[in-house]
Amino acid sequence: MKCYDIACIPGDGIGPEIVREGIKVLNAAADVEGFALNYTHYPYGGSHYLETGIVMPQDGFQQLRQHDAIFFGAVGDPRVKPGIIEQELLLAMRTELDQYINLRPARLWPGVESPVKGAEHFDVQIVRENTEGFYIRTGAAFPSETGERQLCATVSRGLYDCSFDIRSSLSSGDAYGYNLGLITRSGSERIARYAFDLAQRKGISKVSCVTKRNAVPQMYSVWEDAFDAVAADYPGVQTEKINVDAAAMWLIKKPADFGVLLAPNLFGDILSDLAAGICGSLGFGAGGNINPNGVSMFEPIHGSAPKYAGKNIANPVATILAGALMLDELGEHGAAQRIENTVETAMREGAFRTHDIGGSDGTDKVGSIIRDRLLQEA
């Protein structure tokens, strides 16, 4: 029997609760389709960091590289300074493993009311560039009033060398911080190509390129030029370029007008939460961090929602759907489709309602309902 080797990182807050439900459903889909999933659990996250003083061991990425895929919950622990675990685990995974595609599908599920009018047919594929932009982890902070650089200054190891001093143009003694953004032609082309291929594969007529060349021309001219060059290879696909501010407005005003939304890193981050809001909750937003030639990582797009941790009220659907994305990427299309179909019919029939959409069904109950229905429908 075919067996996939999955690295599992439940993480912080609601992470362990939602991952448990994701695994329940993944295992059911595997049973039905006749393959196996073998999980190796890694304890990374806030508690591990507080206990050991390290986010990950030195050979952490080497270990992760041995697996077929990574199934991830969420990180972010209020006891740890913001950014440490997020940067050194989550963002580091995306860059170290070159998961340059962040695929974040968003659709309004039947039975869920959107806060936005006209969202009944909202169904977009957000394709977020995942390794460049303002996420290259290169910058520094000079937080003291004397303007002296402090050790905590650089948030983490920078990925790119840079050294310059902008103090001369600031008022003396002012605290300051900066981050560099980087966009490359090759990085933009490869993600644009993925977006167009996805549109073709899914029969989506339009790719919208999110940009902001008017305010940040150096980076986004490279981004737009790469988009135009790639678009020329796909004459059958409609295209548009849209500034991120306008994109946010149009998503609310005409949500059903979008198909594939291709966005640079930071804009894709923001718009994917906006899209989840249109879908009624962050608890429905799944994401794949994909390296087509390497090890990919699958997670809900939301965070560790500390206020819900341990209460059994988090919505596990995003994580369950992230599991489906993982199976699809592993080539188990039938199993992935089963999970999606089961979620769809369960939602349509009102089989459960989680706290975030006004219901009271617990995290574990939702996972069990989806698992049982998947097995029954097989």
324: left (phi over 0), alpha (psi -120 to 50) or beta: alpha
**279 binds ligand IPM, rule: CB under 6 A:** no
**86 binds Mn ion, rule: CB under 5 A:** no
**21 binds Mn ion, rule: CB under 5 A:** no
How many C-beta neighbours within 10 Å does residue 62 have? 10
Closest separation between CB of residue 206 and ligand IPM, Å? Answer: 24
77: left (phi over 0), alpha (psi -120 to 50) or beta: beta
- What whole-number distance in Å separates Cα of residue 162 and Cα of residue 140? 10
- What whole-number distance in Å separates Cα of residue 95 and Cα of residue 136? 8
The tokens of 355 are what? Answer: 């706290």
**Among positions 12, 77, 86, 132, the unique one binding ligand IPM when judged by CB under 6 A:** 86
**181 binds ligand NAD, rule: CB under 6 A:** no
Residue 105 contacts residue 173 (beta carbons within 8 Å): no
∠ CA 205-210-212, rounded to 5°: 155
Closest separation between CB of residue 71 and ligand NAD, Å? Answer: 13
Per partner kind, with CB cut-offs from 5 to 8 A, the member of Mn ion, ligand NAD, ligand IPM, none near residue 274 is none
Closest separation between CB of residue 91 and ligand IPM, Å? Answer: 6
**86 binds ligand NAD, rule: CB under 6 A:** yes
Per partner kind, with CB cut-offs from 5 to 8 A, the member of ligand NAD, Mn ion, ligand IPM, none near residue 91 is ligand IPM
Residue 354 contacts residue 317 (beta carbons within 8 Å): yes
Q: In this complex, which beta carbon is closest to ligand NAD, that of residue 259 or of residue 367?
A: 367
**22 binds ligand NAD, rule: CB under 6 A:** no
**76 binds ligand NAD, rule: CB under 6 A:** yes
Question: Binding segment for ligand NAD among 22-30, 36-44, 225-233, 299-307 (CB under 6 A)?
Answer: 299-307
**324 binds ligand NAD, rule: CB under 6 A:** no
In a 13 Å sphere around the CA of 213, the CA atoms on its Cβ side amount to 11
Element (H, E) at 46: helix 46-52
Written as one letter, the residue type at 140 is A
**Among positions 17, 21, 269, 361, the unique one binding ligand IPM when judged by CB under 6 A:** 269
Tell me 133's DSSP state.
B
The interface mask with ligand IPM, positions 283-302, x = CB under 6 A, is ------------------x-
Tell me 11's DSSP state.
E
- Contact positions toward ligand NAD, by CB under 6 A? 14, 18, 74-76, 86, 90, 281-283, 299, 302-307, 314-315, 318, 356
